[in-house]
Amino acid sequence: MDYPNMRSLYKTILSKFIWASLVPILFIESSLIGTLFWMNNRQTNETKLALATISTDSFTEIAQHTSKQLEQQLTQAQTQIEQLDLFAQSLFSNPQRYSYPPLTLYYDQGFFRDGEPGGLSSIYTTNHAVLNNNDTKPLELLSLLIPHMQQMVDSNKDIFQGAWINLSKDYSLSYPPINPVDELTHDLDVTQESFYYAVDPKHNPAKELKFIPLYQEEWASSLGQLGAYESPLYANDTFIGVLGASVSINNAANIFQQMKLPFNAYAMLVDKENHLLLSSDENRSFKETHVQSFYDIYKQELAGISSKSLQSVNPKMFETEGKIIFTQPVSGSVFKIIFILNKEDIYGPVEALSNTANQIGYYIILTLTLFYTVYFIAMIRRVRHLALKISTPVGQILSLSSQLGQDEYLSLPSSDIEELELLATNLNHTHKELLHLINYDETTALFNHHKLLRDVTQYDTSALFFLKINNFNQYNALYGPDVGDGILTLLINYLLAYPIEGTFYRENENTLALRVDKQSSQHTESALQSLLTILTKEKFRYNDLDIHFVITAGLTLGTQDDGIDMMAQAHIALTQVPFNAAGTYVKYDDIHEITKVYQENMLWSKNVKEALEENRIIAYYQPIYDYKKQKIEKFEALVRLELEDKIISPFKFLTAAKSIGRLHDITLVMLDHVFKMAELYPEIEFSINTSFDDFEKGRLLEVVKTKLHSNPIDPTKIIFEILETDTYRDENSVMEIIKELKKLGFKIAIDDFGTGHSNFAHLTLMEVEYIKIDGMFIKDLDTNELSQKMVETIVTFARQIKAQTIGEFVHNRAVFDLTQSLGVDYAQGYYKSAPVSQNEIAQLLEP
């Protein structure tokens, strides 16, 4: 059997042997050749050295000066292009930072273009019969680049002939302006042109500025173009087009024409392929060499060289028959300068003596080469046999190793080579371990999510259940992950012993899945209902703990051809079950309102985005009454959204804002409102709602410091309310930011206290000034004795940590009086006032 990997290894062994053998042989031959030629060449070179020194020094100085001039021209061109590219990428990445001039386009024979009808245009489109709103923004952005491109080209006319930008195949900018009707076709697709895809991400992943040579093109040569610098355009790391500029050859030609060369020499400019670009004396270069490129000189003249003696004098020099040639690369480019002068008879007598000695050396080299060729052929036959013996089993192993991670078990061949046999054994063992990790949950030994995903797509499935253990995380938090894992294992063992058809999987931390094949004889829905009922009533015991599982389920029946759709449906159904509705389930087919809910969420997500962009996120302010001073001392800023002359409550849009990650943006807008109000009412305190996400992910501290620096306000008049129902991932980071805010003078309040995740230790560490008692304890205070005890406990604790308390949802006189009697410091609620607009605050503050 022929294995590609085996053939690669076979070739590698042979090539390694060839190089390991060939290098010593070449070293020995080189040493002998050097010994034979050394004495002869030494005398010859010493004579030529004296003759070459004068010309070497002269041409080196001229070459370096000329190279520096050309290098400066190319460097200047690169710098100009890079500066324009940086501005263009900034423009397209952050268009909102720039204002756009009015742009008028007219349609002309397939093009939308600017300028006067029939005249020249800088901006134009291709492949467009009509323009829509999406076309306006890129064309306006291109118009902002016209003055920058014009300044670059006009101020460097000796370097640039013109510049352009192509945004895909649709939008273009050109300077100097052109008449696209005369020069282009309206359906031109520049993305298929070599100059465009030469710098796209596939061909230029490093995003480099590239030089595209054009001098070999007849059309470019007739226009005097040396080439073009091209740079890819990116907007926020997305490739959007190409920026380029054509470089003129005229400046380089002037440099060559102004050269003053000694020894009646002439100079040529060639590229890395040795194609001729310029000559200081074109008539002589063609007449004396009878060729039109340095490549031809190189091929023609070196064929007759008898000695490269000048290379020992200067590596940038060599001789041809009748000529001495100097080379000088132009730094930072693909070009080099060639200087040519006639040798005439300078070296004739010296070379006559050298030729005789060289002939003897050639015969010796030929004899050695023949000997080592025979030796090498004999050795390679033996190595081929060894390479075949090694590469065959290795090729089989490598071919089968592609099955690693697949469900099939490997069957690797044995080998009489001990190391290869060990390799095959290890691969078989590793494959088995890998299969287990891919398909099984390490904690429970059930199949995992990856296995479920494969099974529902590979096998016919009649039903898929997701069983969520809603209180699993509570057990984990109370007793630790080891106990949590033990409790989970207890439940799984019960399920595996329960008489229900199907296969169990662990979908995620607190969710199990049951997949039922279509061959199942059970009525799947009734079987699930029975299982949930039993699990709800069953009493479990782990160690000394009584365990009661709160399990809900989502069900989908196998009506979909795509197993991935079934998983999505089961997840959706599971999300519709109330959190604490133990023993209940929702079937996907019974969800009638899910589409409406999702559509409404998408609508409010759109409204939030537009409101943020159009400054329609506003603040309403609810007063906070001081029992001791018997007047309003503070206001809480509450977010609202303006929509079609209506003021929208946050209950409508905050969930959507959170789903699209814009809650922090809303916080920053509210911060603006609060700072302005603190400046208008310096004697009043204003509070703003924040979350731990604002502290952990956002730029809250940075923005606050900036605003404090630019706004003349008293920071002690601003309170940051943190929702107690929020959780945080990085406790140290949150605490540090809170400390920084307090150092600046701001105050901290815990909102909705009594219902969330905060504990007394955290409150002590945060050193909060205010504790806002959650409304669930306040609103029924006049009828619920348990709520009264809870409020008394919170007030007592607050006094111990020197914090003041604020009662929320104070909605009637009875609750107002009772809250005061229990020792609460402040009251907030509709009894005193509903939230009001900014313009109504002054009226509330009137005595």
| Domains present along the chain, CATH in parentheses | 13-79+260-385 (no CATH), 94-258 (3.30.450), 440-591 (3.30.70.270), 600-845 (3.20.20.450)
pLDDT(564) > 70: no
pLDDT at 7: 56
Using alpha carbons, select from 614, 622, 612, 615 the residue that is nearest to residue 838.
Answer: 622
The mean pLDDT of the chain is 81
Residue with tokens 């010309």: 55
- Do 824 and 753 form a contact (C-beta atoms < 8 A)? no
pLDDT in the model for residue 413? 60
Least confident piece of the model among 17-21, 262-266, 348-352: 348-352
**Per-residue confidence (pLDDT) for residue 267, from 0 to 100:** 77
Averaged pLDDT for residues 552-558 = 86
**How far apart are the two ends of the chain, measured CA to CA in Å?**
100
DSSP H or E run through 36 = helix 4-93
pLDDT score for 621: 98
pLDDT digit string (tens) for 789-820?
Answer: 999 999 999 999 999 999 999 999 999 999 99
- For CA atoms 576, 581, 586, 590, give the dihedral sign: negative
pLDDT at residue 393 above 80? no
Query: How confident is the model over 175-188, as a mean pLDDT?
Result: 89
Lowest mean pLDDT among 62-66, 534-538, 586-590, 815-819: 62-66
pLDDT at 308: 43
DSSP state of 290: -
Return the DSSP state at 440. B
- Bigger pLDDT: 100 or 20? 100
Distance of CA 191 to the CA centre of its chain: 24
Q: Lay out the sheet containing 210-213: strands in order across.
A: 106-108, 111-113, 121-125, 171-178, 160-167, 238-248, 225-235, 210-213
**Distance, CA of 261 to CA of 616 (rounded, Å):** 75
- Encoded tokens for 757: 């995740």
Coil, helix or strand at residue 647: strand
316 has a pLDDT exceeding 70: no
Q: What pLDDT is attached to residue 347? A: 59
Q: Is the pLDDT of residue 655 over 70?
A: yes
Contact of 325 with 59, CB cutoff 8 Å: no
Determine the pLDDT at residue 713: 92
Higher pLDDT, 433 or 296: 433
The pair of three-digit structure tokens given for residue 458, joined into one six-digit string:
């590979």
Q: What pLDDT was estimated at residue 614? A: 95
Q: Which of 162-166, 633-637, 700-704 has the highest mean pLDDT?
A: 633-637
> Residue 277 corresponds to which tokens in the numbers above?
């670009």
State residue 689's pLDDT score: 94
Does 627 have pLDDT greater than 90?
Answer: yes
pLDDT at 314 over 50: no
Please give the pLDDT value at position 809.
Answer: 95
Instruction: Provide the pLDDT for residue 398.
Output: 60
pLDDT classification of 757: cutoffs 50, 70, 90: very low
pLDDT at 669: 96
Average pLDDT over residues 537-559: 86
* Per-residue pLDDT, 727: 59
Query: Span 261-272, mean pLDDT?
Result: 72
Residue 843 above 60 pLDDT? yes
| Comparison of pLDDT for 361 and 199, the residue scoring more | 199
Segment among 402-406, 478-482, 602-606, 671-675 with least mean pLDDT:
402-406
Q: Residue written as tokens 């200067």?
A: 314
- Between residues 347 and 79, the one the model is more confident about: 79
Of the listed ranges 466-470, 625-629, 726-730, the least confidently predicted one is: 726-730
Choice between 56 and 239, residue whose per-residue pLDDT is larger: 239
Indicate whether 291 pLDDT > 60: no
- Whether 478 and 563 have beta carbons less than 8 Å apart is answered as no
| pLDDT confidence of residue 125 | 92
Mean pLDDT to the nearest integer, 449-463 = 87
Average pLDDT over residues 487-495: 92
Among candidates 270, 289, 295, 269, which has minimal Cα distance to 280? 269
pLDDT classification of 698: cutoffs 50, 70, 90: low
pLDDT in tens, 17-75: 677 666 676 676 677 667 766 766 776 666 666 666 666 677 777 777 777 877 787 78
Range in 79-93, 323-337, 465-479, 573-587 the model is least confident about = 323-337
pLDDT value, residue 567 = 85
Higher pLDDT: 527 or 645? It is: 645
Tell me the mean pLDDT in the region 76-96: 89
Q: Give the pLDDT confidence score for residue 416 in this predicted structure.
A: 64
Please state, for a pLDDT cut of 70, what percent of the chain lies above it: 74
How confident is the model at residue 17, as a pLDDT?
Answer: 66
Q: Which of the four pLDDT bands, split at 50, 70 and 90, describes residue 434?
A: confident
- Span 697-704, average pLDDT: 83
Say if residue 390's pLDDT is above 70: no
CA count, 13 A, side-chain hemisphere, 674: 31
Range of weakest confidence among 18-32, 363-377, 399-413, 526-540? 399-413
Helices (H) and strands (E) in the chain, counts: 26, 30
Question: Distance between CA atoms of 293 and 278, rounded to whole angstroms?
Answer: 10
Lowest mean pLDDT among 284-288, 437-441, 635-639, 752-756: 284-288
Average pLDDT over residues 311-330: 65
Q: What predicted TM-score, i.e. pTM, was given to this entire model?
A: 0.38
- The reported pLDDT for the residue numbered 293 is 46
Position 335 pLDDT exceeds 60: yes
pLDDT for position 301: 46
Q: What is the pLDDT of residue 312?
A: 38
Q: Average the pLDDT over 780-789 and give the result.
A: 91
Range with the poorest average pLDDT among 15-29, 86-100, 502-516: 15-29
Judged against a pLDDT cut of 80, whether residue 303 lies above it is answered with no
Q: Please tell me what DSSP assigns to residue 582.
A: T
**Confidence band for 313, pLDDT divided at 50, 70 and 90:** very low
pLDDT for residue 650 is more than 90: yes
pLDDT at 296: 52
Let me know: does 771 contact 803? Beta carbons within 8 Å. Answer: yes
pLDDT at 351: 66
Is 7 in contact with 391 (CB distance < 8 Å)? yes
What pLDDT sits at residue 624? 97
Higher pLDDT among residues 619 and 733, named by residue: 619
Regarding predicted confidence, which is higher, 477 or 785? 785
- H/E element, 511: strand 511-517
